[in-house]
Amino acid sequence: MPQRRPVSVTTIGRLWTFIGIFCCLGGLSTACTAFNPAMVELMNEARPGAAGTWRFGTVLLGVSGGFVWYSAAAFLRLRAWALTSIEAITWLALLACIGMGLYLVTVLTRQPEAFFAGWGTPVGPVLSAICGAALVVLIGMIGLLRGRTVREAFHGEGPSRG
């Protein structure tokens, strides 16, 4: 009888699968503006070189989303390399989340009016709440990834899964 993968592996793998899919979709949707000639002209008028940066970011988002999606699928199949990959992705996401939090604090202290303005909602507090929630989830994920249950699922006895 084959062993069932632990719930923590399933939860982490599915969460990163959804994140990877949404990153790929985000890359595709932003590509519509980044490669639209009218938008490129507007971006370059507002700030020279902005279109090139936007295109690079779009491609980076799509490619990294594809990598996350592929790694998460392999993680769900208990491939040994995927544990390292997902753990590295989680650490990078944690660093990005901390960086976003520091940026928000900087904006709050230097430009409080910008922190609370935009799109009819208090953007700064909403982003801070999202960043804080993501921080808690990522710290929990790292705890699970470094825990015994996940390590045994990937490196336990049985045939090689690599």
103-120 pLDDT, tens digit each:
888 877 777 776 666 655
Look at residue 146 in the predicted model and tell me its pLDDT: 94
Look at residue 161 in the predicted model and tell me its pLDDT: 47
Give pTM, 2 decimals. Answer: 0.80
Beta carbons within 8 Å of 51's beta carbon, 6+ residues apart: 34, 39, 40, 43, 44
Find the helix or strand (DSSP H, E) in which 106 lies.
helix 80-110
Domain boundaries, the chain: 7-155
Helix axis angle for 50-76 and 80-110, nearest 10°, is: 140
pLDDT above 50 (res 1): no
Look at residue 35 in the predicted model and tell me its pLDDT: 82
Average pLDDT, integer, range 124-140:
89
The one-character DSSP state at 150 is H
Beta-carbon count within 10 A of 35 CB: 14
Look at residue 47 in the predicted model and tell me its pLDDT: 82
Q: How confident is the model at residue 142 (pLDDT cuts 50, 70, 90)?
A: very high
Judged on CB neighbours under 10 Å (0-12, 13-18, 19+), 119 is: exposed
Average pLDDT, integer, range 80-95:
95
Beta-carbon count within 10 A of 64 CB: 16
pLDDT digits 0-9 by tens, 48-87? 888 888 889 889 999 999 999 999 999 999 999 999 999 9
